[in-house]
A and B are shown apart, each in its own frame.
Chain A
Amino acid sequence: MKTFVTLGFERRPFDRLLEAVEEGIARRIIPEATLVQSGHSQCALRQCRSIPFLPYVEMRAALKAAEIIIAHAGVGTLLECLRLNKIPISRSRTWRELAAATARHVSVATWRGA
């Protein structure tokens, strides 16, 4: 299954997401990532191929081709995923972060329209 992990064009690192992906792959909770776009994160990945940034056109192509996308889910990535008819699944509501709030509302809207 094609899995794409992306931190988008965010300028700040997000090592704990990548660490969680590594752990998830090792525990066979999530499929092995085909490609990881790691942005400014410094986390060294042992289980999958990573690249800091993709050219814009390749980034959109990777999102389009992926069957599973694991993302920081800033607004840019989230909107692009929605335009590609991907179904967002939010993270835990205990996280008071941008992506959790946005994805929660978006996932509700998606279910209503499904």
Chain B
Amino acid sequence: MKVCLVCSSGGHFYELYCLRGAWHGHDQFWVTFHGQDTGYVLRDQKVYTAYCPTNRNLKNLVRNLFLAWRVLAREKPRVVVSTGAGVCVPFFLLARLRGIKTVYIESLARINELSLTGRMVYPLANEFIVQWPELAERHSKARFEGQLL
């Protein structure tokens, strides 16, 4: 099974990388920003560099949409997994259109309300996982499966 891992650099990458046991042994590739962390930790991995910043940035949303189109067509993953942030939105949108499963994990920092990215991908995610039980209680689709602590 081929897994597509999408995230920003920094904390979002740290949280996604914490979960690497879940896809151990499967083919994988990453879509992220180049940073001190991603550049070093993913130095032996296949990485596509996304456009940043993504916060309220329409130009980069469009560029990442074209990137998602190319990457998903070329790689044909079975599942797209992301911890955010906005870079994952076009990937989730096109993944759903292509019949690719999508898994979103909301940040540990989101305790009482979803992030903007979380709210945007909520209708698109096959699995929507949160890290605080009170958040799962407020959103019917959200599942609490523990915390990255």
Contact = CB atoms under 8 A, between A and B. Distances in A.
Interface in A1-34: 8-11
A89 interface: no
B10 A10 contact: yes
A55 B36 contact: yes
A56 B41 contact: yes
Contacts of A45: none
Interface string B1-38: 00000000111111100100000000000000001110
Interface string A36-80: 000000000000000001111101000000000000001111011
Indicate the size class of the contact surface on chain A. 20 to 34
Contacts of B41: 56
Nearest to B40: A56
Contacts, number: 62
Interface of A: 8-11, 53-57, 59, 74-77, 79-80, 82, 98-99, 101-102, 105-106, 109
Given A74-B11, A75-B108, A80-B14, 16 more contacts: A8-B11, A9-B35, A53-B36, A55-B36, A55-B40, A56-B36, A56-B40, A74-B109, A75-B15, A76-B13, A79-B11, A79-B14, A79-B15, A101-B111, A102-B109, A105-B132
22 contacts: A8-B11, A9-B9, A9-B36, A11-B9, A11-B10, A11-B53, A53-B36, A55-B40, A56-B36, A56-B39, A75-B11, A75-B12, A75-B14, A75-B15, A75-B107, A76-B10, A76-B15, A79-B14, A80-B14, A82-B149, A102-B111, A106-B149
